[in-house]
Structure 1
Amino acid sequence: MKVLVLGSGVIGVTTAYFLSEAGHEVTVIDRQDGPALETSFANAGEVSPGYSSPWAGPSVPVKALKWLTMKHGPLVLKPTLDWHMYAWMLRMLRNCTGARYALNKSRMVPIAEYSRDVLKDLRSRTNIAYDQRMQGTLQLFRTQKQLDGIGGDVEVLKQTGVPFEVLDPEGCIAVEPGLGNVRGKFVGGLRLPGDETGDCQMFTERLAEIATAAGVKFEYGVTVTGIETSGGKITGVNTSAGKYRADSYVMALGSYSPIWMRKLGQPIPVYPVKGYSITVPIVDAARAPESTVMDETYKIAITRLGDRIRVGGTAEISGYNLNLNDARRDTLVHSVTDLFPGAGDIGQATFWTGQRPMTPDGPPIIGASKYANLYLNTGHGTLGWTMACGSARVLADIMSGRKPDIDASALGPQRYAA
């Protein structure tokens, strides 16, 4: 079967790889000059199934009001004239109940756990290297109130069988020695030893090379201009490089997927939530993080990637714009210098922003569309790197007529039909 994959981020490239492995003839097109040059380029670097939770939860509406007033708050709202923004926000608020949170999390954890296992298998078979570390992640609490409030999360971890450790300050320092320089600034942490870290862009580039060697064609600098349909099927994709035809098509355009799905008459509630990161060269390894430290107060991830520190965070709802905001950079700098002073050269830090494709309920959208030969792999939000390999493997199985290793039926777009 000839398959055309739209998008060469980590989702598109992993999808292409597993489709090729399943025996299909695969072509990937992307408007950029190479793979992973948009949202996958400089994310926080976490492969964290243990943190796979919906943003929409019972306490979020009240917390959001507080975050919006904080100087270094994790949430930023910039109203626009795009009514899709407000529709998405309303749907998210509808999911801020205990019952919906539990349901949505139950859909997210299995695909995230499965994805980590698929990544491990891929790594063992290909020896792919991407500055990976398998040293877990540490959620760091600056206040006793934060630490006392983890009971619900711990219960979910127990129910889903995810290994965890609740640590006092000395326990946190034992796994992250760099925190010893600021031991008075936190009261404890929640460690997930099974989580991993790694450079998403490096992984995607190298997997694209492996896929190319296996016969996948990657065509860059190609912009989609139209999608043709007939008889309930996609009949071709018009681009700046001409028309592409295939037997089946995969929509993996991240935050831009909903734009095309609306044109195709099947709207999906995916909206861009802007994130920021800085990448800081390490100057004192003893002061730097060993893996990922999640600064719970500011919702910022501080990750060791080889000889660099990646600091990522902020949820800015402001539509489709990629403007860099110095205030967001200040928040990232504040968090990393407060917890790991002297670890990196802030003066040499690079600043980046990207659009996370978020669903209002949390789980990604993986599966068949209303068109017989169009499939979706999008809406992963902040968990694209975490869920990429598992999502791709599941979709490749669905498209190949095989039963996936896990039940992903609740992840399809049909859950929004009502």
Structure 2
Amino acid sequence: MRVAVIGAGLTGVMTAYELARDGHEVIVYERRGSIAAEGSFAPASVLAPGLALAHAAVGGWGGLERLPAKPTAWPWLWRRWRAARQPAQAARLTCLRDLAQLSLERVQSIAAAHQLEYDHHSGVMALMRTPRDASRAQALLVTHAASSLPVRWLSADDARATEPGINPTLPLHGALYWRAGETANGRQFAHALRVEALRLGARFQFQQEVTGLATGSGARQQVELQTERCRDIAESALSVGSTGAATVVDEGPQTFDAVVLCSAEAASRLLPGAARPRVAWGHVHSVTAPRHVAADAGETFGPSGAVLDPAVGITISRMGDRLRVAGVASIGALPSRPASAVLARLYATLEATFPGATRTARAQPWVGRQDHLADGMPAVGRASANGLWLNIGHGANAWAQAAACGRLLADQMAGRAAPFDCSTLDPARLR
């Protein structure tokens, strides 16, 4: 089939690769001048099957702030709170676990097959800072023991031995630990994977925004393209990071057998009214800084993998010779620049957890937009109209879900059965 993929974030690149791997003719349309230029630019990229247990142990909402500054977000947060208490929540958590496991397998398989070079490190730890949180985490492990999750409980002493850079004065009552979990530079991976997608025949058209979807004859969809220069590709290192303008190619209206929307913004704008998903827009901050290298080989600065503090929704992760502290995800409009108060919280958490771990004078702050659906699940599958497909709603979990969702969507389009129950991902639930 001839397939258009709209959006070249991490999810879009993964989807394009999997479709091209299956032999489809794939063209990716991206309004920015580079891939992974918006929400995939510098978030935390942590992959650990069953990570939702850590947030459940502290009563968290997957890293989202419960009380954002603007009351306009409260109705949506109420829907998220209510969804977490529905009978279907157990099936959702199981699906999230299976998505992360499949993503881990796909990432490792793809990286090995193509010998991709990108920063990644093993080991994911979620700190339990109070006796209550530690007790709840241990109880959840017992409850989910039959699921064979690759996670184990560490005492406070064992946690400090596993991550010796943790501040010895930090209150700590144990930790959940995923030895096989990974943290990675998702943007590096996306750039490396794009090269492989190109080798498979995929094409990427940058600085082109799809402004309309019109149904052609039969089940074929006509994608009407309007080529326009982005508002300012080079101006915003906050969310773009592109150093030059891409070549603009105006091909006029194009016809495809299928269109996959990997951009929630595009889905909200282009799909027919009844099929448009109700998306809540949020944003997340991060700071990436050079890691302090100790003169004494016996002294450790920063984590060896990723360390989460789910109580405050902040993740500190290793990125090669750098560290990234990310979190404080909020529902609301994307600010024009990183908020100083939020950055102060990130710096304070980093210093409290790993004192002196980075050279903050050379830190790179970032804020990026994220899309969230009320039940906390992505939407992967056929939209209401023939030939239209969705792969959106990954929020802060793109790295943990993109590889799996790209593969699942390619399998759906080919009529192949999923390896596990994916009913909670069906976009029909959004209508």
TM-score after normalising by structure 2:
0.86
- Structure 2 distance, partners of 1:203, 1:99, is 37
Residue identity over aligned pairs, in percent, reads 29
Tell me, yes or no, if the aligned pair for 1:143 and 1:186 is still in contact at 8 Å. Answer: yes
Report the more deviating stretch, 182-191 or 227-236: 227-236
Say whether 1:175 aligns with 2:167. Answer: no
1:402 to 2:390 alignment? no
Instruction: Give the counterpart of 2:69 among 70, 77, 80.
Output: 77
Letter in 2 for 1:110: D
2:378 maps to 1:369: no
Instruction: State the AA in 1 paired with 2:4.
Output: L
Measured in 1, the distance between the counterparts of 2:162 and 2:56 equals 30
**Hey, what does 2:105 align to over in structure 1?**
117
Matched, 1:331 2:369: no
Pair 1:60–1:183, CA change in 2 (3 A): closer
Give the counterpart letter for 1:213 in structure 2: R
Moved more, 368-377 or 232-241: 232-241
How far apart, CA to CA, are the structure 2 residues paired with 1:57 and 1:146?
6
Match of 1:379 in 2: 393
User: Are 1:53 and 1:362, in contact at CA under 8 Å, matched by a contact in 2?
Assistant: no
Measure, in 1, the Cα distance between the counterparts of 2:31 and 2:410: 23
SS in structure 1 at match of 2:303: coil
| Aligned residue in 2 for 1:147 | 134
Bigger mean CA deviation after superposition, 20-29 or 184-193: 184-193
Aligned pair partner of 2:181 in 163, 187, 195:
195
| 1:71 equivalent in structure 2 | none
- Confirm or deny: 8 A CA contact 2:60 2:311 kept in the other structure: no
Unaligned runs of 5+ in 2: 228-249, 295-299
Q: Is 2:283 aligned against 1:274?
A: yes
The structure that is helix-richer by fraction is 1
Conserved? CA contact 2:57–2:136, under 8 Å: no
Contact between 1:59 and 1:96, CA under 8 Å: does it hold in 2?
no
For 1:238 and 1:281, how far apart are their aligned partners in 2? Answer: 41
Deviation at 1:344, TM superposition (A): 0.4
How far residue 188 of structure 1 moved from its aligned partner, in angstroms, is 1.6
Cα 1:43/1:86, change in 2 over 3 Å: same
Deviation string 1:296-343 (CA, Å, 9 cap, x unpaired) is: 331210000100101110121113545421111011101111111111
| Aligned residue runs from structure 1 range 3-402, under 5 A | 3-52=3-52, 59=59, 76-80=68-72, 85=73, 88-97=76-85, 99-134=87-122, 136-155=123-142, 157-179=144-166, 181-229=167-215, 234-240=221-227, 241=250, 242-261=252-271, 263-284=272-293, 286-402=300-416
Instruction: Please tell me the residue identity of whatever aligns with 2:92.
Output: N
Name the TM-score, length of structure 1 as normaliser: 0.89
Q: State which drifts further: 200-209 or 44-53.
A: 44-53
Question: In the TM superposition, what whole-angstrom CA distance separates every residue of 1:383-410 from its partner, at most 9, and x where no partner exists?
Answer: 1111111110111111122223333233
Deviation at residue 78 of structure 1 after TM alignment = 2.1
Q: 1:200 to 1:329 in 2, by over 3 A?
A: same
Alpha-carbon distance change, 28 to 238 in structure 1, aligned in 2, over 3 angstroms: same
Aligned length: 401
Q: Which has the larger displacement, 107-116 or 210-219?
A: 107-116
Q: SS state of the match for residue 298, structure 1?
A: coil
Stretch of structure 1 that moved more, 165-174 or 24-33: 165-174
The alignment partner of 1:137 has SS state of strand
CA distance in 1, matches of 2:354, 2:340: 21
SS in 2 for 1:210: helix
Going from structure 1 to structure 2, the CA distance change for 1:359 and 1:56 (only over 3 Å counts) comes to farther
Q: Shift of residue 208 of structure 1?
A: 0.5
Structure 1 residues 194, 377: CA separation in 2 closer, same or farther (over 3 Å shift)?
Answer: same
Q: How far apart, CA to CA, are the structure 1 residues paired with 2:269 and 2:53?
A: 26
Which residue is 2:240 aligned to?
A: none
Whole-Å separation in 2 of the counterparts to 1:8 and 1:319:
21
Which residue is 2:236 aligned to? none
CA distance in 2, matches of 1:368, 1:268: 13
1:88–1:360 CA contact under 8 A, matched in 2? yes
Residues 415/58 of structure 1: CA separation in 2 closer, same or farther (3 Å cut) = farther
